[in-house]
Amino acid sequence: MRSQSPGYPNAPLAKAIHSVRMIFDADRRNPIDRELAAKHIGYSGSSGAADKAIATLAHYGLTEKVGKGEIRVSQLALDIIHPAKAEDRKRALLQAAFNPQIFKDIRERFPEGHVSEGALESYLKRENFLDRAITPVTKAYLETCRLLEQENVFAVFDEGEDGGGDLRLSEDEDAGPTNSSAVTRSATSPNDPFSIPQAMPGTASAGENDIKIMLDGDRLRVSAFVDLKGAKRLVKALRANMALLEIDDDDDDDIG
C-alpha cells in the first residue's frame, strides 16, 4: 500500500510565479540555500510547508539545483517575470504549466481542454494519489489552466491515430482550435517538456483535411492532404504557430 502520492506541485502556477519573483527580487539568479529561499517567500525557515513550497517551484521548472542544498531562479522563470517580448512569456508559461509530469499526464488524459473536478479526482485516485493529495493537485491544475486562458496561451492536445498525444501551440485566436490539426516538437530532445511519447514521425501520411505539424529544430514538418477549405485552415495554423520559429510576419510574404 502506498504511503505517499507521486510527485506534484502543491500550488497553482500563479502562486509559484509570485514566490519565485520574490526570490529573484532578493537574490536575482544567485545560488542560495533552500532555507534562505523559503525565508524570501515568507517562511521562518525550514519546515514541511516550506519544503513543499520550494519543491513546487522545482516542479514547474522555476528553480534549478546548483549544489548540495542550493537552488537558483531558472531562466524559464526569468522568461516569465521579465520576458524580452510577450511571446517569450507565453511560451514560458506554457512550458512551466505542463512541466509537472502529473499535469502533462492529465492533459493527455483529457485532451478536450476542460475537465470537471469530479472526473479529475477519479482519475487521480486511479493513478494512486492519496486522498490528502487529490484536492491540492486538482486545485493547482485547474487554476493553472485558468491562468493560461487569462494570458491567452492556448495548448490543445490531440489524440493521434497511433494513440500518441500531439501538442498544438497557438498564438493566434483567429486560427481557433481544430480537432484534426496538431503541432508537436520533435522527440529528439528527451528532456524537453514539450516532447510527447509517440510523436508524429516526419513521414506520416494524412487523410483528407487531416493536418499535422511537427516542430523539428528550426523547421516545421507538415503532413497534410487538403481541399480548399483545409488549405485555408492550414494557412491559419501556420500563421498561428509562427512564434515557434520566431518568424517575423514582415519577412514572410508567401503566406497571405
pLDDT digits (tens, 9 = 90+) for 155-176: 433 333 333 334 444 333 333 3
* Residue 178 in this model has a pLDDT that exceeds 50: no
What's the pLDDT score for residue 229? 77
Domain spans, the chain: 1-152, 155-251
What's the pLDDT score for residue 42? 94
* Residue 92 in this model has a pLDDT that exceeds 90: yes
Predicted confidence band at 182 (pLDDT cuts at 50, 70, 90)?
Answer: very low
What's the pLDDT score for residue 187? 35
Q: In the structure grid, which three cell numbers stand for residue 211, read together?
A: 493536418
* Residue 201 in this model has a pLDDT that exceeds 60: no
Report the DSSP beta bridge partners of residue 169.
155
Q: What pLDDT, in 10s, does the model give residues 94-149? A: 999 999 999 999 999 987 767 899 999 999 999 989 989 999 999 999 999 999 98
pTM of the predicted structure, to 2 decimals: 0.60
Locus of grid cell 516526419: 202
Amino acid identity of residue 134, one-letter, is I
Predicted confidence band at 18 (pLDDT cuts at 50, 70, 90)?
Answer: very high
What's the pLDDT score for residue 164? 37
Residue of higher predicted confidence among 96 and 202: 96
* Residue 250 in this model has a pLDDT that exceeds 50: no
* Residue 200 in this model has a pLDDT that exceeds 60: no
* Residue 79 in this model has a pLDDT that exceeds 80: yes
Predicted confidence band at 25 (pLDDT cuts at 50, 70, 90)?
Answer: very high
Please give the distance of CA 244 from its chain centroid, rounded to a whole number.
14
Residue of higher predicted confidence among 163 and 15: 15
Locus of grid cell 492532404: 225
